[in-house]
Amino acid sequence: MGELTNDIQFLPGVGPKRAALIKRELGVNTLEELIRFYPYRYIDRSSITPIVSVTPDLAYVQVQGRVVSRNLINMKHLSIIVEDGTGRMEMVFFKGVKWNFDRLAPGSVWLFFGKPQLFNGRINIVHPEVDAPQTDPAAKGTLTGVYPSTEKLKNGGITGKLMCKMERAALALCLPEVQESLPDYILKKYGLPSLVLALQNIHFPSDMSALAAATRRLKFEELFYLQLSLLKQKYVRSRAANGLVMPHVGPAFHACYNALPYSLTGAQQRVIKEIRADLSGGSQMNRLLQGDVGSGKTMVAVLSCLIAIGNGYQACIMAPTEVLAQQHFANIQKYLAPTGVQCALLTGSTTRKERKPLMAGLADGSIQLVVGTHALIEEPVRYRALGLAVIDEQHRFGVSQRAALWSKGPLMRYDQRSGAWAPVSDSERPAIPPGGAPGGRTIEDQNVPPHVLVMTATPIPRTLAMTFYGDLDLSVIDEMPPGRKPVQTMLIGQNRLPAMYRFMREEISKGRQVFVVYPMIFINEKMEDVSNVEQGYEDIVKAFPLDEGYKVAIVHGQQSNEQKLFNMKAFVEGRAHILVSTTVIEVGVDVPNASVMVIRSAQRFGLSQLHQLRGRVGRGAEKSYCILVKDPKTGKDAQERLELMCATEDGFEIAEKDMKMRGPGDLEGTQQSGMPIELHIASLLRDGAMLDEARSCAMKVLDADPGLDRPQNSVLLKELRKGKYDIKDYSKIS
């Protein structure tokens, strides 16, 4: 592995200065990283275009011409006139002037490659690549790779031609050391070329067929190992012996289910069956429940909790904000009315006096279901037998916070008579004597992690869900409850604000309420034309004055928790007609009486964020509206986003479009690009079919050899241990 780990500075023509620039701009440090740095497109260098046929609208051309004249202007600008028998054209150089002047002597013949343009009535190429005919290796290939670059690289002399030379030199040194990374049986089954051949042809393909084969091989490898890494974690977890077994449904579940004033959708029923199978299967559940805004995830969560309670365990539902936790608690209390189940609320605002009996009830098991915020996992909180933890809007919680739930699982002891694990009370804590377990093993009391159900209302494209949550089982509620009315979405400009205010007054006169959301809290000097809460609140108060009976509340991130809760509560309870806010109300605020969502400077929001905000209305029986107000400076892409919002309410369609427009980055809008794992050549957007194929292959490998212990799979285990395919993101629970 000597050459592969060598620093790129030792390649011919690189050196310490250029190497430092490449490392900084591209993150390429070693020769191995260099040969794994792939072209993003290719240029056909096989044909020569006659000068008479060159036009400025052509992307790139290659001409072969004899130098007719050379003209040095002020020692800063070199003009070379060439001809090929069909015509003449100019080659212009602003860099390397002296060197090009010396070598491009009149009468010499060269190959010139570059982008033609029109200047002062004649066609020229600025800074063409220049090669001697039929001698330079890079000019012989049919296809020449074009590598990702930056302005700093170009200014530092790291041209496309130099990158090709570096790759050629690196391949010559490294290919003899490259070891195959896929087992022979996978290569044969999927018709994939060797890694050595793929690396050679991805950089310097002999033809289009060789390039296609190399691309397929390298993409498959990336996606396969990505899925193998995720699925192996899932297989290890699913084979663990310490899952809590919940075989019964219980009377509380039936009492709640039978008292529902409506029928569950087919999707809700399907998901509950999937969760019930997990809970009774003997392995710890880690399931993602994905459903659009208003699809009925909370009802599924409550029924799942009642299954755990019916088996003698406790359950908790953890929400990201106090407002959402309070709303969950109020709604869940209604569902639990016919069940007799004891439910409590625990948040940061719970007083010390209220906490004492609550903590005691959790510890002795008399409180069977608790709803709250991250306060549920704080150190003082102890559960008698926590069997199920539901995490709502799970991307809002950190990995360490969710992992803390594991320590809250019930203390269990192996029961010799039943051959199963049973909860242990504090009074029974002394460990059982050695030899008390089958086979003479010593079994110590241990905390068994609760089953975990994580929920998100952000629709995630399938390919992203398979990657971000590949080690979780996935359930999707893809059906909306009957009777939920669609939200009418409209796009307006600033000139329609007076008409919009009249419409808001009409809705308020009917007893409705209105959200008005802004992208920023305060005015920004760099974006003075973008709406902000500070100015917006003043404008709304002027348009809806208190002396006319209007009450306006304001909520934003720089307020204290007390201020936010007070103002939010005023709106939730109907004491305020209008809530002016930032996106702090994006998740979970449930105000059935709110019928209008106004989003100012709507072009500043991502599609998924707009969809989440729109989901705050349309939750009651009345017709609801979402008004997108765009600013005068709205770009083409933003206009397209806003028009799509008006065209569909399908969250999954919006999420797919969002990925196509922004790339497979974070769909919650907190991160505009990038992923929790670096893909060098594969694309979750374009390679969905190959991702399916790679995942299927990984599943078959693990079905046959879960530990990758067989000799033919040693190469797979070796690759996984390098850690390149570990996903470090919010989908991890443990």
Residues 271, 336, single domain; the answer is yes
Query: Final residue of a domain: which of 112, 140, 168?
Result: 140
Planar angle of CA 56, 57, 59, nearest 5 degrees: 100
Q: Is residue 710 part of a domain?
A: no
Contact 580, 518 (CB under 8 A): yes
Residues 553, 418, single domain; the answer is no
Residues 94, 165, single domain; the answer is no
- Looking at the chain, the whole-number percentage of residues with pLDDT higher than 90 is 45
Q: Is residue 722 part of a domain?
A: no
Dihedral (C-alpha) 637, 643, 648, 651: value to the nearest 10 degrees? Answer: 30
Q: What is the pLDDT of residues 373-394, one digit of tens each?
A: 888 888 788 898 999 999 887 5
Q: Is residue 334 part of a domain?
A: yes
Across 60-69, 105-114, 447-456, least confident range: 447-456
Q: How far apart are CA 203 and CA 171, in angstroms?
A: 9
Residues 38, 51, single domain; the answer is no
**pTM, whole model, 2 decimals?**
0.68
The reported pLDDT for the residue numbered 506 is 96
Q: Is residue 315 part of a domain?
A: yes
Across 163-172, 238-247, 521-530, 578-587, least confident range: 521-530
The reported pLDDT for the residue numbered 262 is 85
Residues 127, 268, single domain; the answer is no
The phi, psi pair for 470, rounded to 5°, reads -65, -20
Planar angle of CA 574, 318, 251, nearest 5 degrees: 95
Per-residue confidence band for 662, with pLDDT thresholds at 50, 70 and 90: low
Residues 465, 520, single domain; the answer is no
The reported pLDDT for the residue numbered 154 is 79
Residues 6, 68, single domain; the answer is no
Question: Does residue 515 have a pLDDT over 90?
Answer: yes
Residues 99, 163, single domain; the answer is no
In this structure, what CATH number is given to the domain that contains residue 115?
2.40.50.140
Q: Is 651 helix (H, G, I), strand (E, B) or coil?
A: helix
Domain count for the chain: 4
Q: Is residue 236 part of a domain?
A: no
Residues 468, 492, single domain; the answer is no
Q: Is residue 346 part of a domain?
A: yes
Q: Is the dihedral of CA 295, 299, 304, 305 positive or negative?
A: positive
Residue ranges of E strands in 501-623 = 513-517, 552-555, 578-581, 594-600
Residues 339, 417, single domain; the answer is yes
Residues 104, 154, single domain; the answer is no
Q: Is residue 400 part of a domain?
A: yes
Question: Does residue 184 have a pLDDT over 60?
Answer: yes
In this structure, what CATH number is given to the domain that contains residue 171?
1.10.150
Token pair in block for residue 60: 């790139």
Residues 16, 55, single domain; the answer is no
Question: Does residue 530 have a pLDDT over 50?
Answer: yes
The reported pLDDT for the residue numbered 722 is 84
Average pLDDT over residues 315-330: 87
Average pLDDT, the chain: 84
Query: Final residue of a domain: which of 632, 648, 664?
Result: 648
Per-residue confidence band for 671, with pLDDT thresholds at 50, 70 and 90: very low
Q: What is the pLDDT of residues 427-471, one digit of tens each?
A: 555 444 443 444 433 455 667 888 989 888 777 776 777 776 666
Higher pLDDT, 399 or 720: 720
Domain residue limits at 282:
251-426+443-477
Q: Is residue 661 part of a domain?
A: no
In this structure, what CATH number is given to the domain that contains residue 595?
3.40.50.300
